[in-house]
Amino acid sequence: MIPGIPGIEPQKLEKWEPVIGLEVHAQLATQTKMFCGCRREYGAAPNTHVCPVCLAYPGALPVINEEAVNLAVRLGLAVGCAVRPFSRFARKNYFYPDLPKGYQISQFDEPICEGGHIDFYLDGGDFKSVRLTRIHMEEDAGKLIHGSGEESYVDFNRSGTPLVEIVSEPDMRTPQEAKAYLDRLKQTLIYTGVSEADMEKGNLRCDANISIRPRGSETLGTRTEMKNLNSFRGVERGLTYEINRQIDLLESGGAVLQASLQWDDAAGVTRVMRIKEEANDYRYFPEPDLVPLMVPAERIDEIRAALPELPSAIEKRYADEYDLKVQDIHVLTRTPQLAQFFEAVIAGGVSPQLAAQWVQGEVLRVLNEERQEIADFAMPPDRLAGLIGLVDSGTINRNTGKAVFDDMLSSGLSAREVVDRDGLAQVSDSDELRLIVRSVVHEMEVELARYKAGEKQLFGHFMGSVMAATRGKGDPRVVRGILQELLNADG
């Protein structure tokens, strides 16, 4: 089965196979920068977190941030890498105005982590494992800010921010797989506390290598590197665009040039930045100002022992214990805080299915509307469990439950308090309901005649009228029974 790609004609994909590898930069969630004591803070006034080291004053020397090393090892262990007991920093030489030293301290042939894999399920439920080549540590550059006229400014606050670069093998075949890979990587970074992984804040940045080869071929085609894929949507759109471009080029007898491309998300096109660039253009050499980095086995063991339950394990547990669908699990485990909230609702005595419905429905609706995180959510999980219990036991119906939910958020009351205050408890007393049903049906002579003449679809109309007459408090199951009995009676 050839996987389809929205936006690419199936005939093209029968002939050509896209090959995608990703390079993701993640800023590490440290207090301070990679090689100096400056605070790492997003959104501070320009050039307020700088010092001689990150401004590259002559004679200033770098010192490795131990916390950054611990986080890089933590990530490596979470994704099954081998951690090198001995790794080395190297200089990557190039000029850019946001790089005051004229080189970036990175790692080259002796990175801190090698191998590993990222595993995930695709939307259709298929399992996919993408191999990692390596994870290495490096420092971020500063930031150029372009003025309204000809002028540009440099903000060095970001200069020296600790990064890990996570390099995958070219194991992905569709933009959708690339997106799912990124999703899982982001989730892993958040669960392990290695990075805030917020793409909007530039914590997470993605470049992609893309090539096309005739289907069935084992040889890789010439690849382009696409920069600036800085949203999940951008990754899917950019890759789709580039796959189409390369296939069209090859089919018209042209050849793909090895190049760095910039994805312009607003225009929806790629632009060529540089043609052909090789690792040796950067004149890598070992960083002479830093000693090699040794990570003792005991340290690696300590970090491994402190790893939290990882997303793939939680997903498996949810599938085995709670019997939830892949899509539901995906949503509920997006962040560890949301997963904890969901589990706390279940701990309040609610079935996993109902808890999943309410958390995905009402809770996420409010969080999206208010642009909040679950940590900011005003209703504790045990109160939500109380509300779901009242709906499940039939004390109130589902629609009333939703209204009570909104009321609880604004009033701070418990579900029971709102129900008692407004007298919302459902009427399931059949004698009382029978009187209401009779009087409603009595008023609806015309509809009754049509119903008896065979227009059975009018049943919903009767149901709605009776529910309205009970002001939504009638127990729908009881109402339905009485109504059926009455409408289908002879005469």
Residues that bind Zn ion (CB under 5 A): 36, 38, 51, 53-54
CB of 161 to Zn ion, least distance (A): 10
Nearest residue (CB) to Zn ion, 60 versus 326: 60
CB of 54 to Zn ion, least distance (A): 3
Nearest residue (CB) to Zn ion, 67 versus 264: 67
Q: Are 142 and 100 in contact (CB under 8 A)?
A: yes
Quote the CA–CA distance of 396 and 384 in Å, as a whole number: 14
CB of 28 to Zn ion, least distance (A): 15
Two tokens, residue 406: 């909104």
Which amino acid, residue 410? S
CB of 51 to Zn ion, least distance (A): 3
DSSP label at 50?
A: -
CB of 367 to Zn ion, least distance (A): 37
* Closest-CA residue to 398 (of 358, 341, 342): 358
CB of 273 to Zn ion, least distance (A): 29
Secondary structure E strands in 95-253: 103-106, 113-114, 117-121, 127-139, 143-146, 152-155, 162-168, 204-214, 224-227
Nearest residue (CB) to Zn ion, 38 versus 212: 38
Secondary structure E strands in 169-258: 204-214, 224-227
CB of 33 to Zn ion, least distance (A): 5
Nearest residue (CB) to Zn ion, 63 versus 294: 63
* Closest-CA residue to 254 (of 216, 217, 226, 212): 212
Nearest residue (CB) to Zn ion, 47 versus 360: 47
Quote the CA–CA distance of 8 and 67 in Å, as a whole number: 45
Q: CA quadruple 387, 393, 396, 397: dihedral positive or negative? A: positive
Q: Are 45 and 223 in contact (CB under 8 A)?
A: no
Nearest residue (CB) to Zn ion, 54 versus 164: 54
Nearest residue (CB) to Zn ion, 48 versus 337: 48
